[in-house]
Structure 1
């Protein structure tokens, strides 16, 4: 005897992306994965001391700040994802509510890597 059962399945729109929910797990479809893997800017948490290595005598709080950075894959080993437009961002951090300037990336694109 063959028994049948229903697999809970729903399609939902999250941030304008179509996702498929199967038994509580999220399946991101190939086109979505492909489209989100290209070179682009995204917000990343960056350690303050990574941006200011000479300031090790300070203990910053927070230790990380949200900055927009380049990320993604180019699909060709001769290409790399690099910023094409940057902007200075001043953030207030502790100690003593000091202000620290960071460079944020406003736009990224693939460029030829001359090192290969």
Structure 2
């Protein structure tokens, strides 16, 4: 079940950021309430998949003939529109990510300037 859910999440992020075209009959992107419901559902702690599973699926499904794809966390940040928090998330900071919610949290924490003591 984690593989099926992980594939759905990877494809969802790719379509949301236009890395993969969205079909005219795609129910996720052509149903008014679906994206909002998915945003809320993917933020729930009980729905978190291990990041290693999603990342592995992301790398296994990259097309070899396409230019280098965005980092998975960048796709997730674009999907969730994290800039709505009036912060500039940084996905380039190397922190161990446990799951999607943790990755978003880490990117937001990385955007907060550290105080000097």
TM-score (structure 1 length as normaliser): 0.28
Structure (1/2) with the larger strand percentage: 1
Q: Of the two structures, which has the highest relative contact order with CA contacts closer than 8 Å and spacing of 6 or more?
A: 2
Structure (1/2) with the larger helix percentage: 2
Higher Cα radius of gyration: 1
